[in-house]
Chains A and B, each alone.
Chain A
Amino acid sequence: MSAPIAAGVGAPYARLLSVASYVPSRVVDNAEMCTFIDSSDEWIQQRTGIAERRWVGEGETVETMALAAARTAVERAGIDPADIGAVIVSTVTYFHQTPSLAAKLAYELGTNGAAFDISAACAGFCYGLAQAESLVRSGAAKYAVVIGVEELSRFTDIHDRSTAFLFADGAGAAVVGPSETNGIGPVVWGSDGSQADAINQTSEWSEAMQGGTQPYIAMDGRAVFKWASGFIADATKKVLEVAQLSPEELDVFIPHQANNRITDAMLRHLKLPENVVVARTIKQFGNNSAASVPMAMDQLLSTGQAKSGQTALLIGFGAGLVYAGQVVTLP
């Protein structure tokens, strides 16, 4: 007979204790964007909803942005950093293969808890949140910090008319902790590697090292739009279903800020009640990939458009293709 192994004991439920963001300093409006590409403010706004985006300025990096957002989130949660059992960072723009950004950030935050990076592109925050929720409920971590951070301006071909105006920089972070009532619904997530080319980097880093040009993000906008307005809109409905909520019980909808036209298409599909607040931070921030959901959440809360205790539906989707979504109680 096998020796009896004790199982971990965690919290009955998990919830978001805080959210915070870091908005980089450099404002790049559409007029400046049109000095890089042959386009217009009207065309960009009509096709994406983006009026301006944020890029890193002097002294701002993936590391500084992530640390600033995470520090604020930990302060707002009011927890002892030493009790953070896991730090999860989602990014596709930390250009340092090893060690992970999460390990450095954990040290800077004041914890020796587990730390690791994940690669789930624009779905990264929701992927990390699903893991954090499970870690807290399993007892693997008392508190978990989830960080989405991107410096896409370094990974974007600013002369590519199909992507240059979309991508932006920024960071968002949240603390997940134990709760007596449930604050994070079951995750609906998955992948479709048959569409790996839909959003992809243009070349391997090894080719770049041999004297080529650096890789950039390339996107088949048509394929992504089709997937997002059909399959992802359906997946978003499932997020509500598995949380056993009706659309009338939802207060806030925070989709990944990929493109306002995708958000519009999803809303037509979802038929949410008119009073549901919809995140549209893409207008000022652009598409911040893994950082967009927590940045939007923080923005809605700090401007009073959303309130603590309200019920919000999150959905992230992007390169992979991958997606993840869950319903949360706002911190």
Chain B
Amino acid sequence: MATTEEIRAQLAELVNDVAGTPVEDVQLDKSFVDDLDVDSLAMVEIIVGCEEKFGVTIPDEESKNLKTVGDAVAYIEAHS
């Protein structure tokens, strides 16, 4: 079972790959849209990437609630 920090680090690489955000900026308290300059299309791609990387399913109605990096990490921890 991956630790919170390991999931955050892998998610940071994904966000960096999709949106070009520096990995060190991708911290649990950061909002994807407001802090990390991730727009709606990039967010969809990050969701698809999370599904592949972490083997989770993230339905649309759930993904809309993933506002911060911490929200996403917590979802992955609970469902992987």
Contacts and interface: CB of A to CB of B under 8 A. Distances in A.
B77 interface: no
A268 B18 contact: yes
Contacts, number: 27
Contacts of A226: 44, 47-48
B17 A222 contact: no
A225 B18 CA distance: 14
A45 interface: no
A225 B39 contact: no
Interface in B31-68: 39-42, 44-45, 47-48, 51-52, 60
Contact of A229 (B17, B39, B40, B44): B44
B45 A225 contact: yes
A306 to B, nearest CB: 27
Contacts of A265: 18, 45, 48
Contacts of B39: 46-47
A222 B51 contact: no
A222 B44 contact: yes
Interface in A195-240: 222-223, 225-226, 229-230
Nearest to A48: B41
Interface of B: 17-18, 39-42, 44-45, 47-48, 51-52, 60
State the majority secondary structure of interface residues on B: helix
A161 interface: no
A47 B41 CA distance: 8
Given A222-B60, A268-B18, A230 B52 contact: yes
Contacts of B52: 230
Contact of A268 (B17, B44, B47): B17
Interface of A: 46-47, 222-223, 225-226, 229-230, 261, 265, 268
Contacts of A230: 48, 51-52
Contacts of A222: 40, 44, 60
Nearest to A226: B44
A213 B44 CA distance: 33
A143 to B, nearest CB: 41
A230 B39 CA distance: 18
Q: Which 5 residue pairs across A and B have the least CB separation, nearest first?
A: A230-B48, A225-B44, A261-B41, A265-B45, A229-B45
Given A226-B44, A230-B51, 4 more contacts: A46-B39, A225-B41, A225-B44, A226-B48
Contacts of B48: 226, 229-230, 265
Contacts of A46: 39
Nearest to B47: A226
